[in-house]
Structure 1
Amino acid sequence: MSDRLSVLKTYKLYVGGKFPRSESGRVYEVTDCKGTWLANAPLASRKDARDAVVAARKAFGGWSGATAYNRGQILYRIAEMLEGRREQFIAEVADAEGLSKAKATAQVDAAIDRWVWYAGWSDKVAQITGGANPVAGPYFNLSSPEPTGVVAVLAPQDSSFLGLVSVIAPAVVTGNTVVVVTSEKSPLPALSLAEVLATSDLPGGVVNILSGRTAEIAAPLAAHQDVNALDLAGADAGLAKELETAAADNLKRVLRPEPADWSADPGTGRLLSFLETKTVWHPMGV
């Protein structure tokens, strides 16, 4: 009989490609659906939120300036690494959501497949959102999509991994950088995803992951002047209204929360939510 002690995992935030502790040093207990303690997760502060925005802004130029093909390759590499750690995520999702191993496996497999699906859109989205426009005059008039900028994403509360992937991947594949607030009660799959991102080819700061009290972290993000858009998937109706009001101060683009079946075909709605259209007039024959 072995008398060795288990090595318990220490979860940290993921900001700028690094793993800092919460600036305040706070943590909170994460339990499974039966109330059994699973781990301590970092309780992010307003300062952590501001640091994450700085990291996301710093990474935006390089990420948005990368070729669409390159972004797709990087996202596909992340999917490969998720496949390699599949069993870990199955166990974490089962604990987080109170699922059987078979149902947790289906959730994880769907999340990996969805990451691959979004990766494939990287060099195709311009074909469905851009194009040549007929104009009255001797000009070529061309429209093309460009990323909105830094997007603050409130991850779904009830889908700790599939829902998480469904809101992160469509935002970053088109060139945005994100600050993600994890599911408050089930943050561990998201914090483990950070370990995959850190060892992939994804540049630091493209995805920043904060765990803690959703309302506490979301408020400074909604009011932050260097955040360009909000995805409120993980907000309830009351919080969403408050955040949307704060977001109006610098005219942030806001994706309101709606009932979602994360296992359903995602379509292109989220993919197109955080894109702007650039139109160029070019004289013919020049």
Structure 2
Amino acid sequence: MSDRLSVLKTYKLYVGGKFPRSESGRVYEVQDGKGNWLANAPQSSRKDGRDAVVAARKAFGGWSGATAYNRGQVLYRVAEMLEGRREQFVREVAEAEGLSKSKAAAVVDAAIDRWVWYAGWTDKIGQVVGGANPVAGPFFNLSTPEPTGVVAVVAPQESSFLGLVSVIAPVVATGSTVVVIASEKSPLPALSLGEVLATSDVPGGVVNILSGRAAEIAPSLAAHQDVNGIDLTGADTALAKELEIAAADNLKRVRRPQPVEDFTADPGTDRLTTFLETKTVWHPTGSLGASGSAY
């Protein structure tokens, strides 16, 4: 028999590349499917949400200004780091979602593969949704995608890891930064993901992870004037309606929750294009000169 003391893990938020406790000092109990205590998770406050938005905005310029190829390298590095901590995530996903070890392993493998999927799309999505437009006149007319800005995400409640990766990765792959509210009942895989991101090449503030009650944190994010988009995937019907109304104040892009969302299916490019803007540039040809204008 071992005489060692149990070393319990203290989970913290991930904001601006650092690991703060909740500003309010609150925590809540996280339990497995059988009601067994797993850990205490930070219960984020609205102030934590505002701090996360500040961090995301600060990181946006550098992240959106990086080359698409470089963003792809960074995302692939996250997949490498997840692969190295695979067993930890298998255990946490099994406990969080009440899965057998083999089923949890399949979920974790799918999540790692999803990072690789989006890493590969970073320098290709521009060719899919951008291009040259035919115009009547001596002009080149080119449309190119640009990131929306700071995106708030209510993560899926049931799919605590694969679903989480599926809503975060496409946002950052296309150059936006994200503030995500993890699954309320199963936040531990998300909080552990913060530890992976902190030791990868992802700049601090690009991804910010909050835990707690979405009903408490999300309304202030939806109304925040420095948030440019919001993904309501993990919100119930009543909360989603409230958040969409709040988001209209500064014309945020909104992704509504879907009746059925299968995160094991081929993700396609839908989420990649949700939080992209299109910039169109007109450039004269021939004798009109070399200066151009953008609208």
Same-fold status (TM-score > 0.5): yes
1:67 aligns with 2:67: yes
1:266 aligns with 2:261: no
* Paired residue secondary structure (1:249): helix
Instruction: Report the equivalent of 2:84.
Output: 84
Within-5 A mapping of 1:1-286:
1-258=1-258, 259-285=260-286, 286=290
Q: How far apart are residue 221 of structure 1 and its match?
A: 0.3
* Paired residue secondary structure (1:266): coil
Cα distance between partner residues in 2 of 1:3 and 1:30: 27
Structure 2 gap ranges (5+):
291-295
Listed one character per residue, the Cα deviations across residues 233-259 of structure 1 (whole Å, up to 9, x for unaligned) are 100011000000000000000000002
* Paired residue secondary structure (1:77): helix
Q: Normalization by structure 2: what TM-score?
A: 0.96
Q: How far apart are residue 2 of structure 1 and its match?
A: 1.2
* Paired residue secondary structure (1:71): helix
Cα distance between partner residues in 1 of 2:243 and 2:16: 24
**Paired amino acid for 1:223:** A
**Paired amino acid for 2:224:** H
Q: How far apart are residue 4 of structure 1 and its match?
A: 1.2
**Paired amino acid for 1:10:** T
| Structure 1 moving runs of 4+ over 2 Å | none
Q: Normalization by structure 1: what TM-score?
A: 0.99
**Paired amino acid for 2:118:** Y
Cα distance between partner residues in 2 of 1:2 and 1:128: 58
Give the share of equivalent positions with the same residue, in percent. Answer: 83
Q: How far apart are residue 3 of structure 1 and its match?
A: 1.6
Listed one character per residue, the Cα deviations across residues 172-215 of structure 1 (whole Å, up to 9, x for unaligned) are 00000000000000000000000000001100000000000011
Structure 1 gap ranges (5+):
none
* Paired residue secondary structure (1:89): helix
Listed one character per residue, the Cα deviations across residues 121-151 of structure 1 (whole Å, up to 9, x for unaligned) are 0000000010000001100000000000000
CA RMSD of aligned residues (A): 0.5
**Paired amino acid for 1:44:** S
